[in-house]
Structure 1
Amino acid sequence: MRSCVLAVDGGNTKTLALVATLDGQIRGYGRAGCGDIYHIPPGEQASIHEPAALDEIERAVKTALKQASCHPADLEAAVFNMAGADWPEDLALLETAMQARGYGQRLLVQNDALGVLHPACIGSATNSGVSVICGTGAATGARGPDGRTWHSSHWQDSVQGASHLGQQALTAVFHAELGISPPTTLRERVLAYFGTSSVEDVLHRLTARLSQETRPLSGLAAALLDEAEAGDSVARHLVRKHGSALGDFANVAARRVGLEGQPFPLVLAGGVLRHPSPLLAEAIITRVHSRSPQAQPTRPRFEPVIGVLFSALELAGQRIDEQLISRLLPTLPPASFFDTLG
């Protein structure tokens, strides 16, 4: 008899899986690497059959199932909230792969920009709102009162998350070194991050023919936000510009599902938006309020994968209420399980 549900949240940095009983108690959890089917590991080639991300998804799920003493046949329902679930063929690939592994009698795959809306909209009659996620990458999603959904997918490739912010910080330092742009305190932060004494050394490390530099540019995002908060004019300009651009996509999302100009939850999520500086979030909110003054900024009450778990429980016919949540909370994995490392 099937008695559990599976929730998977797959992003560009990590894939998290939870297995819970139908009354909402988490019995197992697993963690693996990048779950984005568009990601191609270094040294490998793209495959139309089995993207490397499927192995990471399976690894996280198997860990969670083992810890829960549960088998795939025990899963009433499973919901997969995935970065890279952008086009119909992506959804089909993931659905087919997860069905082949027996992950759930009922199974749903959705883009990761939509999953974060669920916990923020609990209690809403329409479960509608707009989400802005800024983590390693970035995504925007919306669900309207009539059930219409929209997510930014590859429309948003030009405005991303930590990696994009890190690249902007680096470019600002390079341009300042050449006298093209104003000096910036980001210079010292970049030198410290790469452990060098000159900007030219940084450029050399990153562009040398036999470069072995492995530090990700996403690691500079926190430095950019730190310096912006400390008052560096270059950093502040970059952060505000980026926030406005993210807000533009939120406005598009609201318009596409019939929410523009109406009151709706504006859910701000992702590791970058958890930084102590409010500047990025303020820029997003200001841009959204220019079109929808009654939009209500909110932060997720739960981690995204918990929202996915709620969706899985609903798919299994369970009602999400405070009683269920009170049973779930004592069984949450440790905080380190949710961290983005590296």
Structure 2
Amino acid sequence: MGGYLIAVDGGGSTCRAALAAHDGRILARGRAGPANIATDPGEAAASIAEAALAAIADAGLPADTIRDCAALLGLAGARQAAATVRAFLGDLPFSRSELTGDAEIALEGALGSGDGVMAILGTGSAFLARRGDEIRSVGGWGLQLADQGGGARLGREALRTALLARDGVRPHGSLSRALLAAFDDDPAQMVAFAGAARPADFGRFAPQVFDAADAGDPDANGLLQTAVADVCEMIAHLDWPDGPRIVLMGGLAPLYARHLPPVLRDRLSEPLGDALDGAVRLAVRTFSGR
């Protein structure tokens, strides 16, 4: 079979692409900016092409190789963007393109063909479980109504709390002071930022919540306790009594792992691979029949 495979892991902050042979061997990798199809389809398409071209260049191949590649795209926002999918795929430079969610490729990467529960905790969040031939999912509906435990939701709530402290409704702590300082102690700047912010913009403040909570900041502790409770609720909904393992994925996974209750923390397992590994496996299955 001619050409190559492109596997894409497109998240709210970063898009990663792997150039692979039809047997699944990864030949090169590339990286670009956000690729959330629901938030900004145009930006997502540009990031996908940029990451794919970077992988092709890293392999020492000419740029027009991209036209002979079949692409499996695991993208944030895929569940919300059903109405735009056909036009979106038609704008991409690949010979063939298939779209799935970033959660589906993460599940494949984390569990392989095995059973278990997976939580993606990055800019957004999603929760999936595989038990035999059945795959169940909850969440993953975006920042406005879901994304429990996601960095964007946590960062947005931290900014809201900082404004409450600025107005004297709550006492100042290290988190509120640091967040206000990031906007020159000008609440109008913070409000203007929030009005135009995308999920990745909010998400960059999430690690500060964990750091401040570890330092004993009361507001950060409250925010983190709420986020952890949300994550636990979603995992518990998908779990079953003899569930073999729980896997956390995404940039915030190591931070959350330390804060889960022992009943869940003791069942955590390392993922077999990452979301891009899962995208490569699905690309092979989709385009090469292996």
TM above 0.5, one fold? yes
How far apart are 1:74 and its partner, in Å? 5.0
Q: Does 1:63 align with 2:54?
A: yes
1:271 to 251, 274, 283: 251
Q: Does 1:297 align with 2:268?
A: yes
Contact kept? 2:162, 2:177, Cα under 8 Å:
no
Q: Does 1:207 align with 2:191?
A: yes
How far apart are 1:273 and its partner, in Å? 2.3
TM-score (normalised: structure 2): 0.80
- Partner SS state of residue 264, structure 1: coil
Q: Does 1:82 align with 2:53?
A: no
Hey, what's the Cα distance between the residues in 1 that align with 2:115 and 2:273?
17
Q: Does 1:172 align with 2:148?
A: no
Query: Measured at CA, do residues 294 and 171 of structure 1 come closer, stay the same or move farther in structure 2, by a change above 3 Å?
Result: closer
Query: Measured at CA, do residues 202 and 138 of structure 1 come closer, stay the same or move farther in structure 2, by a change above 3 Å?
Result: farther
Max Rg structure: 1
- Partner SS state of residue 216, structure 1: helix
Hey, what's the Cα distance between the residues in 1 that align with 2:129 and 2:107?
8
Residue identity over aligned pairs, in percent, reads 26
Amino acid at match of 1:57: I
Hey, what's the Cα distance between the residues in 2 that align with 1:154 and 1:243?
18
How far apart are 1:317 and its partner, in Å? 4.3
Query: Measured at CA, do residues 202 and 298 of structure 1 come closer, stay the same or move farther in structure 2, by a change above 3 Å?
Result: farther
- Partner SS state of residue 298, structure 1: coil
Deviates more, 1:182-191 or 1:83-92: 83-92
| Structure 1 unaligned blocks of 5 or more | 41-49, 319-342
- Partner SS state of residue 154, structure 1: coil
Q: Does 1:53 align with 2:67?
A: no
Q: Does 1:229 align with 2:209?
A: no
Q: Who is 1:281 aligned against?
A: 257
Hey, what's the Cα distance between the residues in 2 that align with 1:311 and 1:300?
17
| Structure 2 unaligned blocks of 5 or more | none
Cα deviation code 1:175-223 (max 9, x no counterpart) = 23334234422133224433x3xxxx331212369x9999933332121
TM-score (normalised: structure 1): 0.69
Cα deviation code 1:10-69 (max 9, x no counterpart) = 1111211111224544223222222111123xxxxxxxxx64422322232233234432
Q: Who is 1:243 aligned against?
A: 228
Q: Does 1:102 align with 2:82?
A: no
* Aligned counterparts, 1:1-342, within 5 A: 1-2=1-2, 4-40=4-40, 51-68=42-59, 69=61, 71-72=65-66, 75=69, 78-87=71-80, 89=82, 92-93=85-86, 96-97=89-90, 101-103=94-96, 108-122=98-112, 126-154=113-141, 157-158=145-146, 159=148, 161-194=150-183, 196=184, 201-207=185-191, 216-252=201-237, 254=238, 259-275=239-255, 280-284=256-260, 289=263, 296-315=267-286, 316-318=288-290
Contact kept? 1:113, 1:131, Cα under 8 Å:
no
- Root mean square deviation, CA, Å: 3.5
Hey, what's the Cα distance between the residues in 2 that align with 1:27 and 1:78?
15
Query: Measured at CA, do residues 119 and 94 of structure 1 come closer, stay the same or move farther in structure 2, by a change above 3 Å?
Result: farther
Contact kept? 2:111, 2:272, Cα under 8 Å:
no
How far apart are 1:84 and its partner, in Å? 1.0
Contact kept? 2:111, 2:271, Cα under 8 Å:
no
